[in-house]
Amino acid sequence: MAQKTIYLIRHGETDYNRRGIVQGSGVDSDLNEMGQAQAQAFFQAYQHVPFTKIYISGLKRTYQTVEPFIELGLPYEKLTGLNEISWGTMEGKAPGNLDNEYYRALIESWESGHTDQATDKGESPEQVADRQKVAMDTILSHPEEELVLVAMHGRAMRILLCWITNLPLAKMDQFEHSNLCLYKLSYDYSSAQFTIELANDTAHLLTLALMQ
């Protein structure tokens, strides 16, 4: 019975994350010093895992997160379908009161089931899910890659975790995440079903937390 194991991670911290500035697919930010330390901590914890392939989004913060593995010579592929949601006109802004009200109203609308509602000049969760399905089809089309590492983004992860577990996208906020958290997934080819084996795990970052 063919199976694939996917280590799904969110990218490490950026200055935008630290400052609470909205960054979506239109903001190609670098990891900050903490994000680089998180990437190294994840590498130290999981360098023994025999990954056969790495998949990243088209944004450099995902490349920088898995760069220590790539430097080992592991093959990797960029899939823009894994990009963060486009937050449109909200991107790159430090949220003020009006922005916070807009964001809250948008999330409430999504939670009410209106997941076809796009951000202003950006994307809807349903549009993100559609492009993710193309990316996941690419990943799953290689059953010989039995163990893969996938680096992507917070809101995009929530959307992906919903549809792969057959939950409505309105439930996406039940999936917690933080910078360089790990979701371990298994995919059974015979049943075409995903199972979440580990959720929002950050044990590999414990030493960093103790240092802060």
**Using one digit for the tens of pLDDT, what is the confidence trace for 115-133?**
999 999 999 999 999 999 9
Q: What is the pLDDT of residue 98?
A: 60
* Residue 10, beta-bridge partner list: 152
User: Identity (one letter) of the amino acid at 143?
Assistant: P
Query: pLDDT band at residue 210, thresholds of 50, 70 and 90?
Result: low
**Using one digit for the tens of pLDDT, what is the confidence trace for 17-64?**
998 888 899 999 999 999 999 999 999 999 999 999 999 999 999 999
- Phi and psi at residue 196, to the nearest 5°: -90, 115
Domain spans in the chain, listed from the N-terminal domain onward: 3-211
* C-alpha triplet 13, 146, 42: angle, nearest 5°: 25
Q: Is the pLDDT of residue 187 over 60?
A: yes
Question: Radius of gyration over alpha carbons of the chain, in Å?
Answer: 17
Q: Is the pLDDT of residue 212 over 60?
A: no
Quote the CA–CA distance of 95 and 97 in Å, as a whole number.
7
Whether the Cβ atoms of residue 7 and residue 51 lie closer than 8 Å to each other: yes
* C-alpha triplet 120, 126, 15: angle, nearest 5°: 55
Quote the CA–CA distance of 44 and 78 in Å, as a whole number.
23
Quote the CA–CA distance of 205 and 46 in Å, as a whole number.
12
Q: What is the pLDDT of residue 17?
A: 92
* Residue 53, beta-bridge partner list: 148
Residues belonging to the chain: 212
Indicate the CATH number of 3-211 among 2.30.33.40, 3.30.70.260, 3.40.50.1240, 3.30.43.10. 3.40.50.1240
User: Identity (one letter) of the amino acid at 175?
Assistant: F
Quote the CA–CA distance of 159 and 155 in Å, as a whole number.
6
Q: Is the pLDDT of residue 1 over 70?
A: no
Quote the CA–CA distance of 211 and 94 in Å, as a whole number.
28
Between 156 and 101, residue with greater pLDDT = 156
* C-alpha triplet 23, 161, 129: angle, nearest 5°: 65
Average pLDDT value over all residues in the chain: 95
Nearest CA to 23 among 42, 10, 38?
Answer: 10
**Using one digit for the tens of pLDDT, what is the confidence trace for 66-104?**
999 999 999 999 999 999 999 998 888 776 656 678 888
